[in-house]
Structure formats: structure tokens, C-alpha cells
Structure 1
């Protein structure tokens, strides 16, 4: 089956790394691994950060022209026609103009993964984007909701029949391999970063950019300050324009904190496996791919019971979800978890099993196969 893949927020081949690009690539990898031919339908970005009406009109016009060119190429046989249109991440700031147009003209099944609806954007700067995103969501044959919160909202907006829960996922193999070499990684990283191997390692991974990410780093710094009487060392992975602000937030904690910058995939998997607790306040976080990565490597998670985090972390089983993201609540959770190595060890084992069973590439492929069968397509 030929699948035309489109990511209006950020195409999979975009040079700048991000969680959105990562998930787009994972989706393509999953479908390719199922034996399908997956191609990038278009690299046209519809992202409208500020709700610029002129930009939205330009995007709509460019998309109409491109949809016409794609459809004409298919109709004349210049290029093989797609069997399925698959769009990833549609919302008011990144509406899908191509999918609905090609579905209507070429009579193709149309799937949207991670659509979301924010009714408060129906009016105001993003009204046009909201309307287009809503139209695309209503025209899609299947909507793959990544969290229970999104599922409920989409079911209310577009009807429950076309909405399927499709949790985030990853390939757990590299993280399981790192977990098998935990002692080696811990010794190596302790020497590399000057860490004490006999003290608990706390880990946080995130892009250092303004907005919610910076807010999460600052909240983490506040919680660490409140728990500074406990034995721990904190490793921060990531980089970005707000790195100086992150450094400033943690400055009072001195050498108990290591900012190690961005890391390649293999040593990062090793750091997950070598650490003792992943800690992230998840301020306005949709769900957080790093939470999956940590668990896949056998690292229990301390986060917050908000938005999509409970969809990927099982409270009391694979980690601990604080009732709120206040520094005091997070610090209290640290006081409960850090002294209890046996509890963390049990969570670590459960976390690896949880990802392997429910949030793995294999699990995602099984859900995709069921979706394709539902559409009458080859799974």
C-alpha cells in the first residue's frame, strides 16, 4: 500500500530536531516496517504561531495549488497514486489543507493521527486555522487520539465512531540494550561527568526554549532547592536559546547539577539506564516522549498527574504522579522515592514491561493494522 504522509506542523525531514519531528518519523518507520511504501506527500508547513490572518490565507492558497498539482500527477499517471492519506498533528496552529482537498478530489481514505480541538480558539486570531482544522477533523475517516483527554474532546466534536485511542510509542530496543549494560554505563558516565556512583542520580531531558519547557526547568529547580538536604545529583540534558536562563535557575545548587547539553541517542539511552529517577514537572506537557524513553530504559518517573502524562506513566506502578506541579509537592515526592531503592527498583521493572507491552513499535503497528482493516485496506 502507498501511503502519502503529511505533517503540516513540521515535516519529517525538517533539519531542526523536535518531539514533533521525532513522532512523525516514528509513524513513518512503523508503517514502513509493516511493508507499506510511505512517502512524504508534501513539505508545506501550515504552522501559524501568532494567528497571522495574512499568513493563513497564503498557506491556504499555496496548499490549494499544491493539492491541484498532486492530484493532476496522480490522475495522469505521472506518479503512482496514493492508497491512503495519513496526516500527523492537526490543530488550530497547523491546519491540514491538503488532506481534505485530496480526499474529496481523489476519493481516498484519510486518517489523522494526533488531531486536537481547542474550542476557545474558534474566535480570535486563530479562527481561520481552527475552522480549517475542524473541517479536516470532521472529514477524516479515522482520528487517532494519543491521550484519553484528546479522545474525549474529539468524540464530542466529531462523534465517537471515528475516534480511536492510539497511545504514543517508540522502539524500545535501544533502551533495553542500554538497561542490560546499566553498570557499565553508570561507571562510564560517572567518570565522564564527575558524578558519585554511590548517590542517586536524578535526570531531566528537555529542549531549553521559552514557554512551558523553561517553566518546567524552573519548577524543577525550585523543587530541587526544597529537597537539597537529600543526597542526590541532577543531570540536565538539552540545549536551546534559554540555556542561560536554565543555568541561572539552578545556579544556587552548584556542582550538584550537571548541564551536559544535547546527547546522541546511544549515550542518552545509557544515561537513562544509569540514572535512578527521572524527574519532570511537565508544565502543560501533552505527554512527553522523554517519559517513554526513561521507562523503556528501566528508569522510574516522577512527574505530574496532568493532561496526557497519566496515559504514559502508571501512577504507583511505573512511576509517581504528583497531584500538582508545585515545587513543594514535587519535593515531597522526592522525599518519598529517593530513600526507597526497593520501591524504585520495582517501578523500573514495571516501566520496562509497560513500554514493551503497550507503548512499543510493535503495539503501534498492531493498532495501525486494525485501523487499516477498518478502512478496508491491506493491514
Structure 2
């Protein structure tokens, strides 16, 4: 059902409310490598379109730099200038291509927006960001150049959509007008993740985890999960692991001490296959070190599955500790104890599952996001009340 707050934009045959130019400096929504960034970019576009807007991708140019190397930054800056010049020439020759507003997703010090912000300035267009990050600790350090570019874009934006409370606090340091900071809690397309009856577990409690296998925080989370489960071999459980990537061998090595019959390796899955796996599990386990928020947590909860994660900066934005799951300290014993608690208390697990489903289907839907986005876009098209601080 279409949310009544945005139904007015969906009249049959209606002209688009706005032409929106979308840009993601870190990773374009059509990038070939799956990731949470790519998924969130696609969800934002879908929500904007649900609100009646025509959305076009203005560029796939990546502004991401893995290191603060001056030569690398210069190469990216030169490429970005060429890209801006090319797009500007197209818009100049065909004004109908020029959007009404530019929407930039996920700016941070390693991936400043060198395309959308520049085009907004050149064509005097309203500029909006979502999940922009202002990290004051980068001031004056090796990433100062990228930090300064992101700060300038945030200050110039008519509206900045904040996914988490932590993001909002960072932006509030440089954006003092509260109406230019609009909360947009992480959301998913919930229709794929409909409730299912609690499964009969013939071979113990069914655990599931879904994550890419790559070095860094993902690998650390896999190793932490394996170590926690090593402590719980006296309990009856099975773990389904969904994911793949360049660290696959290291992940397999981390779980090698566990009995093979405790593990089911599914590899990389997508879409309905992930939903099916979540709905046949009892409990979602993923530590999630340094997750910005983690869409997989919302997907699991939408299926009525409680979550157990490590409390970080972003996880409280998608898991309600003690209501839809458990968030623990970054201590192996605490994490293992949380898993044991829900493994051995089916009634609590069921109560958390009910609350999890109600939370996501009630508060984190595409339609709800479309309504929040519309509120911000209406604000963005109003004249700014003075310059940014």
C-alpha cells in the first residue's frame, strides 16, 4: 500500500515532481561489486522514484582514494574536472537534461563529492546530501584535503539527510540550522521479507549470518563470530553462512576448528534467496565491527528474526537492544553469552522476533523513507535563510 503522505505524487500520468540528478562518489548504484553502499544507493533511488520524482545517474566516476597520496588525489581531481566539464557541456547544449536538484550519497574524507557539488555550483542548483560524514579528527591530518572538500559540500547543502545519531552529531558541528539536518533512518524494501511461521528446528537452533568476505572489519567479524561459537559447542545449533569474497579462505580457516556438520556454506546469494534463508533461521548473528549501520540487520528483523551484534556507532540505529535483539560490548565472552541466552530461551527469542518484525515493517519501509525524503526535498527548494555558517 502506498503511504498516503506520498500518494499525491503517484497520480497516473502525473508529471515527475522533480528531475533529480543522483551521484554517489564512493560507489555508483550500478557498480558491478555488491556492497551495502550500492544497495543503499539503489534504495534511495527507489524511494525517490516512489515519491514521484524522475531520477537519473549523473556520473559513475569514483572519487574514492584508498590512501592520502598526493599523486593519487591529483589524478582523481583531474579526472573529476574533466567529468564535470563533459557533463556541463551536455547540459549546456541540451537544457532539458539539467536536473532540478542534485542528490549526493555517502560523502566522506576518502570519497568527497567532486562531481555533484561542482555541478550544483555551476548551474546554481539545490544540493542535497545523504549519509555525509564529518570527522573532525581528520582536520589537519593526512586526509585534510578530502576532509575540507566534504566539509564544504556539507555547508553548501540545502539539506543533509542523516542516517544515524552519530552522523547527525558530526554534521551539527558545522551546520547550525536544525532544519538543514533531517533524520532518515536506514530502511529497506520490506515486501520481500514477509513474516513466516517460526520454523520447526529438527537439527538444533538455526543461526544465520550474511556478509561479504573481505579483509578488514568483515574478516574480523567472522573471526570473532567463530571464536564465540567455539565456546558454545555444548549447545545444539547449526550456522548457515551466506557470503563470499577475497577473504573466503581466511573465513573458512577461522571456522575450521568447529565440527563441519555445524556449518552450512551457501556462498554468495542475492534477493529472494537471502530472504528465504533468513526466514528459515531462528536467529541472526553478526558482530558487525565498524558497520555504518548494516542493512542485513533490518532484513533479518523484517523476517521476524532477532539479531545479536556488537554495539557500535551505527548498530543502535537498526537494532533495538533488549527489544528486537541484543547489542553487546566488544568482548568475546559477552557476545558468546548473548548468543547462549537466545539459544536457550525460545520464548524470549520469539518475543524479540515479533518486535523485530513490527519495528521494521512499521518504521523502516520504502514508503516511510519516501515521505521523509519528500519533506527534505521541499525544504531544499526553499531559499536558504542566509549562508551556511
Whether 2:279 is the aligned partner of 1:270: answer no
Deviations 1:146-169 (A, max 9, x none): 100111111013325221111111
Q: Once the 2 structures are TM-superposed, how far is the Cα of residue 340 of structure 1 from its aligned partner?
A: 1.0
Structure 1 stretches lacking a partner, 5+ long? 187-195
Q: 2:237 aligns with which of 220, 232, 237?
A: 232
Q: Give 1:296's aligned residue.
A: 302
Q: Give 2:264's aligned residue.
A: 258
1:310-329 matches, cutoff 5 A? 310-322=316-328, 324-329=329-334
Q: Give 2:181's aligned residue.
A: 163
1:1-379 matches, cutoff 5 A? 1-77=18-94, 79-161=96-178, 162-176=180-194, 179-180=195-196, 183=199, 197-254=202-259, 255-322=261-328, 324-376=329-381
Cα distance in 2 for partners of 1:100, 1:203 equals: 41
Question: Higher relative contact order by CA 8 Å / sep ≥ 6: 1 or 2?
Answer: 2
Q: Once the 2 structures are TM-superposed, how far is the Cα of residue 30 of structure 1 from its aligned partner?
A: 1.0
Give SS of 1:157's match: coil
Would the aligned equivalents of 2:203 and 2:237 in 1 still touch at CA under 8 Å? no
Cα distance in 2 for partners of 1:148, 1:231 equals: 38
Cα distance in 1 for partners of 2:173, 2:333 equals: 36
Cα distance in 2 for partners of 1:51, 1:207 equals: 26
Deviations 1:279-319 (A, max 9, x none): 11111111111101101111110112221101111111111
Would the aligned equivalents of 1:214 and 1:242 in 2 still touch at CA under 8 Å? yes
Cα distance in 1 for partners of 2:121, 2:316 equals: 37
TM-score normalised by the chain length of structure 1: 0.92
If each structure's helix is expressed as a fraction of its own residues, which one has the higher value? Answer: 1
Cα distance in 1 for partners of 2:327, 2:254 equals: 23
Would the aligned equivalents of 2:204 and 2:238 in 1 still touch at CA under 8 Å? yes
Cα distance in 1 for partners of 2:135, 2:234 equals: 42
Q: Give 2:12's aligned residue.
A: none
Q: Once the 2 structures are TM-superposed, how far is the Cα of residue 6 of structure 1 from its aligned partner?
A: 0.3
Would the aligned equivalents of 1:154 and 1:160 in 2 still touch at CA under 8 Å? no
Q: Once the 2 structures are TM-superposed, how far is the Cα of residue 182 of structure 1 from its aligned partner?
A: 6.1
Cα distance in 1 for partners of 2:140, 2:221 equals: 29
Deviations 1:155-188 (A, max 9, x none): 0133252211111111011111xx33765xx7xx
Deviations 1:325-376 (A, max 9, x none): 2210011112221111111111111111111121110110010111112123
Would the aligned equivalents of 1:97 and 1:136 in 2 still touch at CA under 8 Å? no
Would the aligned equivalents of 1:207 and 1:213 in 2 still touch at CA under 8 Å? yes
Give SS of 1:180's match: coil
Cα distance in 2 for partners of 1:98, 1:244 equals: 38
Cα distance in 2 for partners of 1:331, 1:274 equals: 22
Bigger Cα displacement from structure 2, 108-117 vs 331-340: 331-340
Deviations 1:28-63 (A, max 9, x none): 111112221100011110010112211212222222
Give SS of 2:174's match: helix
TM-score normalised by the chain length of structure 2: 0.90
